[in-house]
Chain A
Amino acid sequence: MSRHVIAPVEELPPGARKFVTIDDRPIAVFNIKGEFFGLLNRCPHQGAALCEGPLIGLAQSSNPGEIEYTRHGEILRCPWHGWEFDIRTGQSYCDPRKFRVRAYPVNVEPGSAVVKGPYVAETIAVSIENDYVVVDL
């Protein structure tokens, strides 16, 4: 397992997403209301850049005529075919048994911990007084 520093926290405010390539893997990191999530930027269905899709909620019906809209902003919708994935787990909603997008743990670490390592931060100048978004691969 390797840990990668993605950005200073202030560079990734709530609602923002950042695309990176780590070990040849296209990954996107999202800040959703202060929580961070990382997903492989490739739809398991036909390979679209999944993470360029919009974040929506989950429309579900327990009984005909009763529709609940929940999980607002936590469901990622593929820019091609509209398949829905749970940003917390990578699980698909149209075929949860067969299709899952790889999810990566994302944390916020203080600069003092990041400087100590074992982090990889090739393009980001790390200073001790800041917090950083870190992805576990």
Chain B
Amino acid sequence: MNIQVRPDTAPASSTTVRPAIADCDIHPARKGSKDLYPYLAKRWHAHLETYGGHPYQGMMSGPPYPKAQPNASRRDAYPPDGGPQGSSLSFMQQQHLDPNNVALGVLCPLNTGQGLRNQDLSAALASAINDWQIAEWTGKDSRLKASVVVANEDGPAAAAEIRRRAGDKNFVQVLLLSRNVEPLGQRRYWPIYQAAEEAGLPIGVHAFGFGGNPITASGWPSYYIEEMVGHSQCQQAALSSIVLEGVLERFPKLKMIMIEAGFGWVPSLAWRLDRAWARMRSEVPDVKRPPSEYIRDHIFWTTQPMEDPERRDHLFDVIDWIGWDRLLFATDYPHWDFDEPSRVLPAGVGDAQREAFFLGNARRLFGIAG
């Protein structure tokens, strides 16, 4: 047992002010299971207490794999006033937003009830979590911006929620997850893309989800470490589907952000797609341009977790292909694989690229002036 004689150490104070950054993947948590009740019709209180939620994934009493740290979060991120990591705005401000000079923080709530089999419940929970984000987070700290959480398996309900939030400056993106009932390009999801395009909101596709399909393309793995690397496979499948089903041809103004699945794999996927498209384009005539062009025009990538190759020029080669204007810095606070902004980028990056990487790209994409 570890007994702490002095319970905590204050973060080292620094006299130099860090440059302002955007953090495009922050996870706010709920203090308890009833936090959403003020935003939910009474009917659903009773429903949740009687039946609970019911995801597509079977035999699930918790996350599909145990995580590397409690709640998959930093051990130093428990708020001193109790509750799980990420559940206290004041502690998030004190531990992360203020010392790291976060000028723009995008909230990506997880475990929200997106994608439940009871789609009315899913839609009610999604709307509640959106109200909760405004009441508890963005309304109390103007640096924070919310995601429109939607009942992703119910296209019309999801589109209605997006239209309800359209024009509300608290929201900067629509949030989907990578693991769904079907690959994300399929037409059941098109109403979401249509509504997002109309609202001028990019779609963020965050790793995870409980669509019922195995976590890797070859089945359910044994270890959490396999789940972690499986996220990039899943994003590749999701992105291939989005491109090859013609989503980006159909919704030409749509922007998408691939969140928390790395980006080192992007060039090779694009090369493979282009090669296959050159030979089999007659199968997907809706896809009028080489897939790599759609990817470069429409897709942004959050940085965390960044690939960390032994030779930094390999990382720079990948970013040069993707574009320095396409990466959005993210820490994943308060999750355990948090990236520390001052340590994340190797030396050798010019000032303009650094500014774009840490702040400029996010401000342009989300339309938020400096």
- A-side residues, CB < 8 A to B, are 7, 11-13, 15-21, 26, 41-42, 45-49, 52-55, 79-82
Contact = CB atoms under 8 A, between A and B. Distances in A.
B316 interface: no
B5 A52 contact: no
B336 interface: yes
Contacts of A47: 340, 342-343
Interface of B: 1-6, 8-9, 11-12, 68-69, 74-76, 336-340, 342-344
Contacts of A11: 5
A41 B336 contact: no
A79 B69 contact: yes
The dominant DSSP class at the A interface is loop
A79 B74 contact: yes
Most buried by B among A15, A16, A80: A80
A17 B5 contact: yes
A26 B9 contact: yes
Contacts, number: 69
Contacts of B336: 79-82
B2 A82 contact: no
A87 B25 CA distance: 33
A81 to B, nearest CB: 6
Nearest to B334: A80
Contacts of A53: 75
CB-CB nearest 4 A-B residue pairs: A79-B75, A46-B340, A18-B5, A16-B3
A49 B76 contact: yes
A46 B343 contact: yes
A15 B68 contact: no
Contacts of A54: 2, 75
Given A26-B12, A52-B9, A82 B68 contact: yes
Contacts of A52: 8-9, 75-76
Contacts of A13: 3
B266 to A, nearest CB: 23
Contacts of B343: 45-47
A82 B69 CA distance: 8
Contacts of B338: 46, 80-81
Contacts of A48: 74, 76, 340
